[in-house]
Structure 1
C-alpha cells in the first residue's frame, strides 16, 4: 500500500489524520456522484472519494495552499486517482491566503506580511471548463463555506448532498448556513462537527378531499 506524504516528505498516519472525514466519504459518497471538494490538503480524503466514484473524473479538488498542492497531486497520482485539481479558490472575487499549516485559510483582507492574493475562479467558470454538473459538495476549507454559499446560493438546489466541517466558528456563521440549507429542503442526516446534509424532494401539497357528487333528483310532474 502506498503512503501519503506531507510537504516535508514525512509519512502521514491516515489512521489519525482526518479519520472522520474518511469515514463520511466512505459512507455517504455515492458511486455516481459528481463531487466538488473544497480543501484537498494532502489528498487523503480526496483519495477516499475518488476511489468510490465510477468515473474518477467526476471529481474536482480545490486547494489554495501552494506549499502543499504539488504533494497533494503526487499523493493522488501514487494512489491512481484522477480528479481535476485547482491550486486556488472558488470565489467571485480575489481573496488573501493566510498561511498557517493545517489552519491556513482565506480572508478578504491581508492580516499579516505573509498573506498573498490567491488565484480565484467562479463556480460557473469551473463548470464551463470541465462540463461537470456538481451534485455533491465536500467542504473542509477552514471557514470558507459561508462565502461559497453566499456566492452560489442559486446553485444550492443542484446539490443532492453537502458535507462540511464546522471549523473556525468565529469566522463562519454556521447557524446561517444551517438555516439556508433547511430553506432549500436539506435535512441533516449526520449531525456534529462533521455534518452531512441531504436534500429532500419538495413537499407535495396536501390533497384536498373531493366533495361528494350531488345526487340528481328527478321529479315527477303530476298533471
Structure 2
C-alpha cells in the first residue's frame, strides 16, 4: 500500500473501503471491504424502555467536535485496538480539515463516552466509540443518529455489525447493496455541524414520538 494521506483515506471511503491495523503496535495498515456491511437505518434506532428512562434522567451533556483527540484516545484505550499511531494522526488531520467529527458525552468536566467518524456527502462512516459509564455509548449513539437525521445524512455506516449495535437497530447488508447506498449518498449534501445541540432528553422525546 502507498503511504496513506488524508486525501487517499477519503478516496478510499468514497470507494467503500476503510483502513485498519492488526493492533496498536503494528505499523502496517490494510484496506477492508467487508462482504457484509453494518449500517444503521436512521429511522430504525431501537430505544428500549430502560434506555428511554435513562436518557430522561441522565445528567450527561453532549458536545460536538470539542474533544476529538480525546475521543479517539478513549476508543483506543482497550486491550485490543486497530488504532495505531499512524491511523490516529490521519484522523486527526481529517478532523482538522473538517472531514472527521466527534460527539462527546460529559459528566460534569469528565469525558465519559463518545463516538467519532468521517463524513463525505450525506454519508457518515462511524469509526469507533467508547464508554466509561453505564449507557454512555447507547446515549451517544442515540444523539448521533438524531444529529445525522437533522443534518440531512442518508447513510450511517458502522462497518461491522456487533451484538451491541444490533440490539440498537443496526443491520447487515450485502456489499453490492452497500455500494449502491454509498453512491447515492455521495451525490447529496449534508452538514454534521449545522443542527443545534440537542440534550439526551430532547433526543429521546423525538425518538419516542416517532416510534
TM-score higher than 0.5 here? no
Query: Which has the larger Rg?
Result: 1
Which structure carries more helix by proportion?
Answer: 2
The structure showing larger relative contact order (alpha-carbon pairs under 8 Å, at least 6 residues apart) is 2
Q: What's the TM-score once normalised by structure 1's chain length? A: 0.28
